[in-house]
Structure 1
């Protein structure tokens, strides 16, 4: 693992850990509301340091890292190799030696064949030892009890590089900002002038009386707007020249005392440390929240110190307010401590000062502080031992080498480095309901009738235990026409059961023996312990002739009745659970007993992977009647692996989605927990049977229960084309769309529906009402603008559209939607009035004016009252006048509209903007007596003599011309 990888993993996990710690300390402060600001500031400082310490936990305390190399901590089954075994008790599993690998080179060319299913996590019992070859030097790896699986595993190296680059860039920018801040402080201090001797002596007296031991200068500067204290090695207090000349002596003394409080508390150094920590962790939100709270508490602590020194609360608060007003609320600077801060902070501080019930003691409260430190220590201890939620995927302990995956085989002597791995001592569960311990002979030598479940990787959504497999294994079902290469081993104490198959194999009709093997193939089953093992070995020569050998305890003997009984007990379950030869076996059972016999056989299988393979073969080789399909659907529901269950359902032919069976099949779909697998099945059903209304209704209802917004939206988008508005489909579809929490996905669904069926009146109305539920203004506006092309001018559509537009909070998006609708041809006066009424709800004068300017280009005379009500609601005189002049300049504007515009102009405050409207009206409409009269009345509201004269001159000029 590279240093960059380790650093980024540590820092990213520190984000959520720090956020939780900050939230816990916020709750701590809420539980102690009467803590004074000095103590609260110290608690926050402890929190800040704790957030900084948290990411360092993996260096010392995290013993189970999520990025632990799989090759050194867990036995991993690989699809690129050919061997497989499971340890069921404390024992040793070893790799073959190099010579053994060489002799097995031919078989290694084929991948492991096993049914794909969802395994259960391993149980915590006696550990087994997995030995891996010591082929390369390696640093010592700690013995761990588990490898936690992170919630987020980042596999892309480019993401790692981008995150590291962004982190370094942000840190560099913040550190550069700090550097420039330090240079600015030095320059300010160097260019400032000393105050009079009288004030310098007063500063010394204030310092001595209030036990401020730092030697401080009092300086004035014309380059600053607010008082500030500049610290570090030669502290100074800077007062703006304008304030020094304006404030009274008592007000200046309050300011100086406040800055002295900062220096006495060493706030210059703590502020510098705070900014450095922010630069080190630039994307840690907890840092910024804690820093913001520290700024407020720092100022309040200084206020309490000044009030304790002077005993004057009201006068001190008035002084601070006056200084803030004269400073125009400007901030002191990134590394300077100021007396005022921003407006909201000052109001908070004044309210705090005037609260007579508060704790105003300027000293630390030791008991609450000790409790806070103890709480932070406990949270740090717990946090650094919590499994990481984010990790970068690692293939091996050496980042530059290829993955070294441990392939497991039967016992072979080999010296190797040992790593402890937890493996259940008994009852190893590899498939739900399948226990390998049932296959291990008891002391009596009898084999219990339990099935053998092959070990197989989980579906992509269900990784093996806590570690995802390096690559998925190819199931046997995909190799029915080819060869099988598989080796399985289970152990329990001194006994073991192992099965090995190489080549294409076919079993006898009663599943008690091998019927044929491909040339050079081999089948071997071994059961028992070293001294009493039963072995049945079948080999095929180059011509396919079989040689069968049976031995007990190492001695070859004829396959007698006891041996045949042993095979008859063991092999059927092994064949069922492994899925080997399923295609031929299902064909044989169909010939012998029909589909019902195959269904009965599948009911005996416990392995999800094998059950899936047999069901797929059943559907591909037989035609089932209604009752058989119902039983098959029940078997599908019983598959615990979502991946296997989904795979089976996608093989069900569309002809089976009939009224009698549809409910059973959708019950099986509903039982899928994985959103991705459920989406995959529903998409397949839509491809097969989208023409049926009942199928569409069931798909919509099932999609509503998908948790993932992306998967749910994808199903609804695919359903948009075959969608029908009858049979309850419309209600079910839009209920599912409403349940999409993601605004972007919700919008994508509605846009797809508009593109497919936006011309349908009922569908358009439902789409508009659904769009109103979207929270994001941008996504909502995108849907409404697309709906304009399908807009029909009737009451239902109009109301749904305007209601959705009115629900947009963003003025810009609201304006764009209304303008898009205005451009729609053939709008009725009712719709135009609705647009004008909706425009009144826009807060931004500029956006409101844009809507009305576009609306002025239409026939707004029938909705004159709504139009001018919206125009009169514009507070900006410039925007108001612009709307009116656009209306007056439009050809064909009636005298009644001109008079209404002139009357609206009288509400404009600015004489310049008002006169511009009146001049425009005079130039175009003053020959009309009614307009002329309105102009003469309106001009009386102009207060500016110059503007009054220009308007009256224009009116009189037109009177003379006419």
Structure 2
């Protein structure tokens, strides 16, 4: 992998350097000035992106073909089912146990420190790859934070309320054939108009006083950025500079593309008659604002009308002379444009690749006593198993297929190679099995990389290693059926409980359920207990989800919920509860245990989703009561409103305790709109008794926003009018809840109350 990465990086640096430097030299010689802006832009884009393609082409034949390797898990990687070898009629193959005699080799750990740490040629290559990847990760994280900050900041900007600008933006967008962007007031330090992510045009304060012609010119320039998709191109250029930061020439290509984009947008904004002078004047005003704003003129990821590095005076002179893209700009034949691009592409394909080899990081890690990490890196390809435990690690790599004997203490058949490596107590043991052309299995046993004969200690270690390998490589269902045939369900459960790692234990739990055998309560209890011992949130969730598909009695559900409460992670805990939701018992102890699991969910989204799923599956009063209690813990107004809406859809209105709890929870929503929606949903879904109506009115009475409070009160009045239930007491209660409203809102409420009599 190090060879591939370094080969690609070196080839890219060579190719992109030739492309960008060659284009820059042509520009300095005045050759590009004779071409149109669009042709120059196409050439610079090809120079920026072409190196990515040309550096990747030589690697395509080297990519692995066929089926992908099995996924690697954090603890172990288990391949697809490899059945145990069946008995054969012919005599078993002869096993060769005589290792090849080799000269004694020095152990790496015994070499002098200076010798082990002395740099070698390939260490530099590995260091370059590590430095490149680390720098790319840091710069991409920085870019992502910048992008997220810009989007969040833009969403919070106040909208432009000027009707003139709104009308001009609508008219100009229609003329240019693009959807009108949202107009917002820019931050104080943003001196230039700019097009921000989310199709938002941010206007600084000085723009609002521009005359109509200059305002139209500014809008035309920014809408041209939108039509040309310049924000996306700018983000792509920034991402390439971050990922491929060793190529410093990418900055030159990005600057040229930014300048050409500004010229193209100037031409588009100046295209209507009489707009050239207006655009030039607006650019000069923008330049003055930039000068006053200082170095922090605006965000780098947005497309502005003017940037400090742009040749402003040249752009102004170009406009005043009529040297725009639409008039006297250099134009070339279409054949010339495509010919230049084709020639550049042909040169791109013909560029040689830089091939780097023999930079495997395993040797470097071994010299630093990081052998366990080296095992994880080197045991790639084919079928592999890698697990770490306190004091050691166990790794297996299989290229081909393998079959084990019935006792699972030795290999019976092998096609290809099998390598087993274990580090424990500072000792490295290795066994490499290779199948020969005549059917024999040749074995090479080593201790600390020195060949050793297979003595009694070696055979004992090998039998244990084979047993572990067989457990991991044999399909869990095949293994469960084999054990069940020998010793019944007790043998299967004993094998399940003997697994010490999460992944194989979870697979064995699922295998028990797939046997199709009757599972008495004692077996279910052992399965749930085994699932509760899984430490990983994903594995415990998957095991519990599989168990939840069975009919579970009250005691089993209590044990299941106790195991679910210990899941690490809100998402996995919520997904596990969703599996049990249709079968949740309404016994008080089970419902209380369910609420305790909900209490362990900290995220609003996951808690709200768990509430919605359970309420929809079992809309019984105990669940609705627990759902309302859990909804009160939600922090976000939106999630609380959505959870209440799920409960409201299941209420009839004649449950005074539930309606009271609903109104009390809704009263805890701070946002006026969200509280209004929660209360009106209850009014629309349920036929409330007078006491419930009073509770809704009381919840609305505490709202600060007069408009939102009025809407709830009007909805209450409308419901009372429809049901002919407008008693004098309720009418008086509505009138008192309307105190503090404005005169207009009070008038609307009084009109609605008059219809109640």
Q: CA deviation at 1:631?
A: 3.0
Contact kept, 8 Å, 2:123 with 2:364, in 1: the verdict is no
User: 713, 717, 732: which is aligned to 1:833?
Assistant: 732
The correspondence for 2:530, drawn from 635, 648, 667, is 635
Report how far residue 740 of structure 1 moved: 1.2
SS in 2 for 1:596: helix
Deviations 1:276-318 (A, max 9, x none): 46744699xxxxxxxxxxxxxxxxxxxxxxxxxxxxxxxxxxx
Asked if 1:851 corresponds to 2:746, the answer is no
- Write the mapping of 1:7-18 to structure 2, written as runs, cut at 5 A: none
Asked whether the 8 Å contact 1:145–1:421 carries over to 2, the reply is no
1:333 is matched with none
Q: Deviations over 1:883-924 (max 9, x none)?
A: xxxxxxxxxxxxxxxxxxxxxxxxxxxxxxxxxxxxxxxxxx
Match of 1:610 among 490, 504, 526: 504
Deviation readout 1:819-839 (Å, 9 max, x if unpaired): 111112112312222111211
Number of residue equivalences: 484
Which of the residues 423, 431, 438 maps onto 1:535? Answer: 431
Given candidates 128, 131, 137, the residue that maps to 1:141 is 131
Mapped to 2, the partners of 1:608 and 1:131 lie a distance apart of: 41
Asked whether 1:780 is paired with 2:724, we answer: no
- Unpaired runs of at least 5, structure 1: 1-97, 120-125, 185-270, 284-411, 431-435, 441-453, 457-472, 474-482, 860-962
TM-superposed CA distance for 1:686, in Å, is: 0.9
SS of match in other structure, 1:802: helix
Deviation at 1:778, TM superposition (A): 0.8
Question: SS at 2:68's partner residue?
Answer: coil
Q: Which residue of 1 aligns with 2:713?
A: 818
Give the drift of 1:798: 2.6
Give the match's secondary structure for 1:721: helix
Q: Tell me the residue number matched to 2:579.
A: 684
Q: How far has the Cα of 1:564 moved from its partner?
A: 3.7
Q: Map residues 434-513 of structure 1 onto 2, 5 A cutoff.
A: 485-486=383-384, 488=386, 498-503=395-400, 505-513=402-410
**Which of the residues 450, 453, 460 maps onto 1:565?**
460
TM-score normalized with structure 2 length: 0.52
CA distance in structure 2 between the partners assigned to 1:616 and 1:692 by the alignment:
28
Contact 1:118 1:641 in 2 (8 A): no
* Counterpart residue number, 2:604: 709
Whole-angstrom distance in 2 between the partners of 1:701 and 1:111: 41
Distance in 2, Cα, partners of 1:492 & 1:669 = 27
Partner Cα distance (2:137, 2:127) in 1: 23
In the alignment, which residue of structure 1 is the partner of 2:70?
112
In 1, Cα distance between the equivalents of 2:634 and 2:118? 47
Instruction: Give the 3 Å change call, closer, same or farther, for CA 810–419 of structure 1 in structure 2.
Output: farther
1:571 is displaced (CA, Å) by 2.1
Matched-pair contact (CA < 8 Å) for 1:701–1:736: no
1:599 aligns to what?
Answer: 493
**TM-score normalised by L of structure 1:** 0.42
Task: Tell me what 1:549 maps to.
Answer: 442
Q: CA deviation at 1:783?
A: 1.5
Distance verdict in 2 for CA 1:588–1:786, change over 3 Å? same
Instruction: Find the aligned partners of 2:503 and 2:495 in 1 and give their Cα distance.
Output: 14
Alignment of 1:186-201 (within 5 A): none
Q: What do residues 206-226 of structure 1 show as CA deviations (whole Å, max 9, x unaligned)?
A: xxxxxxxxxxxxxxxxxxxxx
In structure 2, relative to structure 1, the CA distance for the partners of 1:692 and 1:539 (3 Å cut) is farther
Matched-pair contact (CA < 8 Å) for 1:646–1:681: yes
Q: How does 1:639-678 map to 2 (within 5 A)?
A: 639-678=534-573
Separation in 2, partners of 1:508, 1:781: 71
The Cα shift of 1:681 comes to: 0.6
| Equivalent pair of 1:737/1:749 in contact (CA under 8 Å) | yes
Report 1:307-386 matches (<5 A): none
- Specify whether residues 278 and 775 from structure 1 end up closer, same or farther in structure 2 by C-alpha distance, changes over 3 A only: farther
Structure 1 residue 858: deviation in Å?
2.5
How far apart are residue 625 of structure 1 and its match?
3.3
Residue 683 of structure 1, CA deviation = 0.7
Identify the residue that residue 414 of structure 1 maps to in structure 2: 358
Deviation at 1:556, TM superposition (A): 10
**Cα distance in 2, alignment partners of residues 513 and 149 from structure 1:** 51
Task: Give the equivalent residue in structure 2 for 1:297.
Answer: none
Q: Once superposed, what is the RMSD of the aligned Cα atoms?
A: 5.6
Match for residue 174 of structure 1 among 191, 196, 199:
191
Q: Contact 2:651–2:686 at 8 Å: present in 1 too?
A: no
- 2:473 and 2:578 map into 1 onto residues whose CA distance is 28
Once the two structures are superposed, what CA deviation does each residue of 1:504-550 show, in whole Å capped at 9, x if it has no partner? 54433322123456xx5543335699x99753515498xxx963222
Alignment match of 1:745 (pick from 628, 636, 639): 639
Pairwise CA distance, 1:744: 0.7
- Residues in 1 aligned to 2:153 and 2:496: alpha-carbon distance in whole angstroms: 53
For the residue of structure 1 that corresponds to 2:635, the secondary structure is: coil
Cα-to-partner distance string for 1:648-705 (whole Å, 9 max, x where unaligned): 1111143352122112111110001200111111111114447777655533331232
In the superposition, relative to structure 1, how do residues 602 and 281 fare at CA in structure 2: closer, same or farther (>3 Å)?
A: same
Tell me the SS of whatever aligns to 1:753: helix
- CA separation of 1:711/1:690 partners in 2, compared to 1, >3 Å: closer, same or farther? farther
Q: State how far apart, in whole Å, the 1-side matches of 2:600 and 2:422 are.
A: 48
Contact persistence 2:411–2:466 (CA under 8 A): no
C-alpha spacing 1:128/1:636, structure 2 compared with 1 (3 Å): farther
Task: Assess, with a 3 A threshold, how the Cα gap between structure 1 residues 573 and 423 changes in structure 2: closer, same or farther.
Answer: farther
Shift in CA distance, 735/515, structure 1 to aligned 2, threshold 3 Å: farther
- Whether 1:720 and 2:615 are equivalent positions in the alignment is yes
Structure 1 residues 170-319: aligned runs within 5 Å: 170=186, 174-175=191-192, 177=204, 276=294, 279-280=297-298
Other structure's SS at 2:440 match: strand
2:748 pairs with 1:731 = no
**C-alpha distance in 1 between matches for 2:624 and 2:388:** 55
- Farther-moved stretch of structure 1 (731-740 vs 506-515): 506-515
CA drift of 1:490 comes to: 8.8
Given the superposition, is the C-alpha separation of residues 570 and 630 from structure 1 closer, same or farther in structure 2, using an over 3 Å criterion? same
Q: SS of the residue aligned with 1:827?
A: coil
Structure 1 Cα separation of the partners of residues 363 and 209 of structure 2: 54
C-alpha distance 534-716 of structure 1, shift in aligned 2 (>3 A):
closer
Deviations 1:542-586, CA, capped at 9 Å, x for gaps: xxx96322234699999776654332122223444x465333222
> 1:588 and 1:418 mapped to 2: Cα distance?
39
Report the more deviating stretch, 801-810 or 622-631.
Answer: 622-631
Q: Confirm or deny: 8 A CA contact 1:579 1:613 kept in the other structure.
A: no
CA distance in 1, matches of 2:491, 2:395: 29
CA change 1:514–1:740 in 2 (3 A) is same
Counterpart of 1:590 in structure 2 is 484
Q: Check conservation: 1:115, 1:610, Cα contact below 8 A.
A: no
| Structure 1 counterpart SS, 2:535 | coil
